[in-house]
A = this chain, B = another copy of it.
Amino acid sequence: MLCCRWYRMWSNMMFLWSIYSVFYTPFAFCFFRGIPEHLLDLECVQLIFLADVAVHFFLAYRDPHTHRVVYDQQRIALRYIKGSFALDMLGCFPWDAVYKFTGRMEVVRYLVWLRLYRARKIQGFFKKMEKDIRISYLFTRIAKLATVELYCTHTAACVFYYLATTLPPAREGGTWIGSLTMGDQSYINFRKVDLLTRYITSLYLAIVTMATVGYGDVHAVNPREMVFIVGYVSFSMLLGAYLIGNMTALIVKGSRTERFRDKMTELIRYMNRNRLGSDIRSQVKAHLLLQYESSYKRDRIVDDIPAAVRSKTLYLDTVSKVHLFRGCSEDFLSQIVVKIQEEFFLPGEVILEQGTVVDQIYIVAHGCLEEIAAAREGGSEEIVSELLPYDIVGDVAVICNTRQPYTVRASELCSLLRIDKQSLTGILQMYLKDSRQILSNLLKVHPNLAVES
């Protein structure tokens, strides 16, 4: 369902309607008190959003902890209800009808602003675009910044007009628009002026203020307008600084997203040049994406921990619970711990392949793996066993110098602690007693090994 074409079409349509709705909401609120007759049909759009709410109850999602896709109906519904369901529903309510029904209570109209919660969809769209390396990053970012800026200006323009209409008609000459004369056009009875002209004039004031041009041909007249301008100008200073900061980050390639994209582009170009198979491709891509999204960069964290603390904190707990090391001395374990390196694997990644020579042993720290026996004579592959935290992979192959008996594959996002064969052998030679302990542990689990030798 996640991948099906119908959903993608629906999603794109909803995106377009969201844009329309987000721009139309402030306009309708500020320019009309109660939507005029000939525009009533536009309110029906809310029904589509209601349909979208329904769709969300059937939408599979990817669990952030295990990195598996969840198809379970009940879990999907529960997650949505706990999440954005309430706000989505309130946004679909026909507030304009309620307003007219309640005798034009101004307070009810304010609830229309809840519809802006749909801006979330647009944000999601831009996030997806930024990760898509087919579209120029510069273009995406500038489009996003321009959209933000334009939307703020649009909303401010609406509020400017709204401020003027809240005064009683007698005092409307004391508003920014009522006191305005532009060339041969006078705005004294501004409610009579063409709707488009009114909107353009508001937008003109809003953008001229936002961009700090401030011609002064249109300006605040009464204290209420001054107060709004004080707030709006403060806000637009921050927004301007944000715009410039983002532009600078774009140019000096300062953002993490951009570095991720550059890496990805180079990797793909590199894989094209070496004509790698499509399964390896998708594995490498998924791995890079995982790194970007969860920022797993363990090694550098560990560097900041003082050496004296390090040996105690790092993995000692995990390692001491591993069956193979049961009964070993603490000195031995702390030597092991120092040599450990942590690695992450996505669901489906192969850690060791059946029949290969093994150079490392892995201890499962989190997540879950499967041991798979390759298919004999055309049969399908067969899952031998499941590996859970504190299980160990590759121990027999490394210690007895045999080949890996089964393929080992991650079945959800898991972190493994890796020890090189060489490091392990070095430590075993130093701690003879522990070495014998380990062999006896190994024989307990695999009694057939004793027979073989």
A-to-B contact residues, CB < 8 Å = 142, 145-146, 149-150, 153, 171, 173-175, 179, 182-185, 196-197, 200-201, 203-204, 207-217, 219-223, 226-227, 229-230, 233-234, 236-238, 240-256, 263, 266-267, 270-271, 273-276, 280, 283-284, 287-288, 291, 295, 297-298, 301, 304-309, 312-313, 315, 317-318, 330-331, 343-345, 349-352, 356-357, 365-366, 418
Contact = CB atoms under 8 A, between A and B. Distances in A.
Contacts of A248: 241, 244-245, 248-249, 251-252
B207 A274 contact: no
B313 A274 contact: yes
Contact of A211 (B174, B237, B307): B237
Contact of A233 (B213, B244, B295): B213
Contacts of A276: 313, 317
B252 A226 contact: no
B304 A267 contact: yes
Task: Select the residue from A284, A306, A307, A365 with max chain B CB neighbours within 10 A.
Answer: A306
A241 B238 contact: no
Contact of A222 (B183, B256, B318): B183
A211 B331 CA distance: 65
Nearest to A329: B357
B204 A208 contact: no
A308 B238 contact: no
A349 B219 contact: no
Contacts of A252: 245, 248-249, 252, 254-255
A256 B259 CA distance: 13
